[in-house]
Structure 1
């Protein structure tokens, strides 16, 4: 550890091991060089818990000892067990998130000092949890003599009796508490005790309390052996703190007062629940109409890839007395009557396109150009007369006429006559 332990050249405490080494010289001067995290150190033994007690000096210089764990079952319990020198002091020190227990046996339990018999605690604070038997206080357990000034505690304290948010028990008017406050919960567990827990001071035969306060809402206590109880809103109002130095010692930022030596405290983030309604419009949608009432909707699609040219309601019988011929005759009509019409077929030179549309079936003429093939026209002699005419034969095809043949109903290389409704 650097330094000589004198007032002009104090020992410099920068590690958990340095802090633990203070017990090796209980009368020297010490200063913190930085914040010290004790979370990996394990259980820490109270410094000077029995004679010889601590009679030295510690200036925290605005630094903090964090995550200190003390678990003991006898004697004075705290960072320092007992301080027993009028000139000794602990100042400018923060004890943050401590976990200190004296079990159900130890008396005189406090986070910074178990028993302050003489000396001064100034510009200090503590936060965390503390447990003991009797005389248990958030900052100091037993307080028979000395001064606690410009300090505060936010410690949840539990003990059998004589339990206080800042001080557990005091016995003298020479025990002075000045410009201090407490916000932690103080709980006594002894049934039927005559010494209920106090918001600031648990129990005192005598004590001097000057301009000091406790939060009656956060502590749940309206009783204290000294000090003035205030609501949380009042505790967060600067005008509550009569006679306090808000120029060089205390700071105020619309919350509980803070000590300037530690700088402006960083408030934990506030979690606020907000109800949100999210409206999402249709994405990649062709819907254009929003309506309140749902109705049946029909979707009518036109035929796709259909080559229908005509629709009809009534199909009637059609009789034809013409055998099939391969022609390019196309006929469309709206009304087909059940009637017999004479159909004359004329074979004209091929490659002639005939297209006719009529409402009634009349005489239909089909013209076919010469066919590069043999053409035979056969018909029975005892049926209706059919006339065939040939026009302009190129590369003569053969036309033959067969007599004395009955029941012949076939035509080779037939043409087709289609009647399209």
Structure 2
């Protein structure tokens, strides 16, 4: 009878508030429904196309009979912004219903979930099971975090069970445990984040879940197929399965490329078992690595178990063990390799492996079997692997730590090799930064090191020393950036933003010496800027903490000087007057001298000299052609193109000395470069941008985006998002250019080897760009249509366009 009373609906034997009883709002993008309770969450299912926001944390403890929001016939296609609030104690058992199960049952095309967290979650169901959603088709999931356990049959993921239809998952994570009890046929994987991903993108996401299943089991994704991509993502949980088992992905095939990704958990399976991917087929793996130990029966590799694809610029360091347990493996155990177990018709280029490799048959330091495969510039450590074979080039440990032995490796933009980081072995500087801890005089007899890899720009907590690091008569006190203790001091659990490799030396003290808090001697500046109005003046030389003399010049009669100390406890004075933040100072014509003194917490003083020359105002001269001083493009294939584009004014670098040619370019960055190429000036926006993700648009780009829209360069997506910071694929880059030029084209076939992978909406434009000699393919004559474009590739395309337009004008 409860259902007959206004305001109450009977669900699973429990009365809940009617869905109309939200905390406010009307369900539009401008005025979304506001959700403040578990009962109001249940009301979403009756407004599947509306907009919602959470207004506080919601504890669902005791809320029974949850019915997933949306199903296959009526999916959720609205928007939910969690505003970084948390849903906790969400628990339900759906084993009696064979339908997609999770907080959402099905999220459909244009459905958008963002800024939402789940904690202490338990979900049990059948096929297509995930904590956020059982199935997502054409959806956008951004900044969603999951902490909980999920159990199902086939297609089971910590975040989403089945992801398809061009869905995009970005900046999301999952932790806990994922268990699959089914998986007896292909394509039904289990993954720490996603069970099965088809024709979808996973970007900047990670999982630390423990994952167990039978077939196609991965630390991040179980099955990745049909041009689905995984970019800049990683997994750190252990993975256990039977067939197609990988630390990151169980299987990746049919054009499903993976780049900039890693796995650190241990992996155990029977066949096709890899530290990163169990089976890689008809796809490309690039700039990725695996460090966990791997064990299995057949086709077992530190990086890939079974490879029938292209692997480039990748490595593996874990130990690889070929199991010989007859109960598990039968009477065979073969194809065991430090990098790849069985390299069928695949290509392996610019790779290495250093793990110990053991097995009963067909074992190799790099690959167990190389059957019609190609191995180019790839190496393995004969000493650490315990092997010497002809699949790849075997080197001693000492030779493995010498960059001169790595033919074909790009140590300018992709690789680094800097002892003691990574124990002296190469690493992927394009995606990795290391904190290396040094014992600094321990009892071990020789220097002890621990290296830990992090993504560039990560917030890193300083770790404790290793338990076996001791120094007789001393106690461990802290870490220091200098072996003699004269550098910067860090204590355990301190947090640092990692922008470059760091070595920390243990600081030891005698126990009989009273502990005295160590005051920092750091009297360095972290930033020195001089501004004339909003313009920042260039310093000569470029600012560096250990450089103490600088010059600059201006025609302005006053400037603002800002000097920020590296240590927040240090004080700064300019010409003996205290300086906090910035200070505006009048200038006389001629030379103006300033003395900036930084006093460290310990009393140490460091003095910087700043000379500002005020020039007389003169008639404006023609602009100087900028000098090409980028250091990180030396020897790069696009070096001459980048320098010419700089002089024309098409491109800029983050600084005078860096360009970052291999960094992926975003939609708004490419739009800015294209407008400069076409000599179109940005005009103030005529009205406020209406995209629902307008808060992600950088302040500098607001007017630019309005101009790009007017000129057909940028368009929004059907879900009313712009995704300004999303990486531009090579197809999108060509389409944006062609639309700006208003090309009138018909679709046709290109000569690229992967022509079939070029989407229909881009094919005509790509063909037109090829005919105009504006684009070329990558290695193997592949256009790689859905791969992100680099800054170097975008620069080259636009420089060719500039020359093409100049020729037409003449």
TM-score (norm 2): 0.28
* 2:682 corresponding residue in structure 1: none
Contact 2:195 2:222 survives alignment (8 Å)? yes
Distance 2:158 2:129 in 1: 9
- Offset at residue 149 of structure 1 (A): 0.3
Where in structure 2 are there 5+ consecutive unaligned residues? Answer: 1-21, 184-188, 252-257, 267-289, 293-431, 435-452, 464-494, 496-810
Query: Secondary structure at 1:131's aligned position in 2?
Result: strand
Residue in structure 2 matching 1:55, options 77, 92, 96: 77
Query: Secondary structure at 2:247's aligned position in 1?
Result: coil
- Offset at residue 209 of structure 1 (A): 0.4
Residue in structure 2 matching 1:98, options 111, 114, 121: 121
Distance 1:68 1:238 in 2: 37
* 1:76 corresponding residue in structure 2: 100
Contact 1:211 1:241 survives alignment (8 Å)? no
- Offset at residue 204 of structure 1 (A): 2.4
- Offset at residue 154 of structure 1 (A): 0.2
Distance 1:81 1:25 in 2: 14
* 2:211 corresponding residue in structure 1: 186
Query: Secondary structure at 1:134's aligned position in 2?
Result: coil
Tell me: CA distance 1:67–1:216, structure 2 relative to 1, closer, same or farther (3 Å).
closer
Distance 1:253 1:115 in 2: 36
Contact 1:211 1:243 survives alignment (8 Å)? no
* 1:140 corresponding residue in structure 2: 160
Tell me: CA distance 1:151–1:25, structure 2 relative to 1, closer, same or farther (3 Å).
same
* 1:271 corresponding residue in structure 2: none
Residue in structure 1 matching 2:132, options 106, 112, 118: 112
1:9 aligns with 2:43: no
Contact 1:127 1:155 survives alignment (8 Å)? yes
Contact 2:209 2:237 survives alignment (8 Å)? no
> Normalized per residue, which structure has more helix?
2
* 2:65 corresponding residue in structure 1: 43
How big is each residue's C-alpha offset from its partner over 1:75-94, in whole Å with a ceiling of 9 and x where there is no partner? 010111111123x2110000
* 1:164 corresponding residue in structure 2: 191
Tell me: CA distance 1:217–1:15, structure 2 relative to 1, closer, same or farther (3 Å).
same
Q: After the TM superposition, which residues 350-389 of structure 1 pair with which residues of structure 2 at under 5 Å, given as runs?
A: none
How big is each residue's C-alpha offset from its partner over 1:320-360, in whole Å with a ceiling of 9 and x where there is no partner? xxxxxxxxxxxxxxxxxxxxxxxxxxxxxxxxxxxxxxxxx
* 1:130 corresponding residue in structure 2: 150
Distance 2:248 2:76 in 1: 33
Distance 2:460 2:33 in 1: 33
Query: Secondary structure at 1:85's aligned position in 2?
Result: coil
Contact 1:43 1:69 survives alignment (8 Å)? no
* 1:152 corresponding residue in structure 2: 173
- Offset at residue 222 of structure 1 (A): 3.3
Contact 1:211 1:242 survives alignment (8 Å)? no
* 1:177 corresponding residue in structure 2: 202
Residue in structure 2 matching 1:198, options 176, 201, 218: 218
Query: Secondary structure at 1:123's aligned position in 2?
Result: strand
* 2:393 corresponding residue in structure 1: none
> Normalized per residue, which structure has more strand?
2
- Offset at residue 205 of structure 1 (A): 2.4
Query: Secondary structure at 1:82's aligned position in 2?
Result: strand
Distance 2:454 2:139 in 1: 25
- Offset at residue 238 of structure 1 (A): 6.7
Higher relative contact order (CA 8 A, sep 6+): 1
Residue in structure 2 matching 1:228, options 245, 250, 262: 262
Tell me: CA distance 1:243–1:26, structure 2 relative to 1, closer, same or farther (3 Å).
farther
Query: Secondary structure at 2:41's aligned position in 1?
Result: helix
Aligned residues: 239
Tell me: CA distance 1:216–1:48, structure 2 relative to 1, closer, same or farther (3 Å).
closer
Distance 1:22 1:253 in 2: 39
Distance 2:195 2:113 in 1: 18
Query: Secondary structure at 1:121's aligned position in 2?
Result: strand
Distance 1:48 1:254 in 2: 44
Tell me: CA distance 1:127–1:36, structure 2 relative to 1, closer, same or farther (3 Å).
same
1:29 aligns with 2:51: yes
Distance 1:53 1:18 in 2: 18
Distance 2:158 2:462 in 1: 24
Distance 2:113 2:291 in 1: 29
Residue in structure 2 matching 1:89, options 105, 112, 116: 112
Q: Kindly report the root-mean-square deviation, in angstroms, between the aligned alpha carbons of the 2 structures.
A: 2.7
Contact 1:114 1:141 survives alignment (8 Å)? yes
Query: Secondary structure at 1:55's aligned position in 2?
Result: coil
Tell me: CA distance 1:4–1:216, structure 2 relative to 1, closer, same or farther (3 Å).
closer
* 2:233 corresponding residue in structure 1: 212
Tell me: CA distance 1:219–1:122, structure 2 relative to 1, closer, same or farther (3 Å).
farther
- Offset at residue 7 of structure 1 (A): 0.8
TM-score (norm 1): 0.53
Distance 1:150 1:254 in 2: 24
Distance 1:114 1:241 in 2: 31
Tell me: CA distance 1:72–1:241, structure 2 relative to 1, closer, same or farther (3 Å).
same
Q: After the TM superposition, which residues 281-300 of structure 1 pair with which residues of structure 2 at under 5 Å, given as runs?
A: none
Tell me: CA distance 1:15–1:197, structure 2 relative to 1, closer, same or farther (3 Å).
same
How big is each residue's C-alpha offset from its partner over 1:180-205, in whole Å with a ceiling of 9 and x where there is no partner? 111111111x4xxxx23111111122
How big is each residue's C-alpha offset from its partner over 1:82-129, in whole Å with a ceiling of 9 and x where there is no partner? 11123x211000011111111xxx211111111111111111110111
Distance 1:208 1:67 in 2: 32
Query: Secondary structure at 2:217's aligned position in 1?
Result: coil
Distance 1:148 1:18 in 2: 26
Query: Secondary structure at 2:45's aligned position in 1?
Result: helix
Larger radius of gyration: 1
Tell me: CA distance 1:3–1:204, structure 2 relative to 1, closer, same or farther (3 Å).
same
Query: Secondary structure at 1:196's aligned position in 2?
Result: strand
Contact 1:78 1:112 survives alignment (8 Å)? yes
Distance 1:217 1:228 in 2: 13
Contact 1:101 1:132 survives alignment (8 Å)? yes
- Offset at residue 211 of structure 1 (A): 0.7
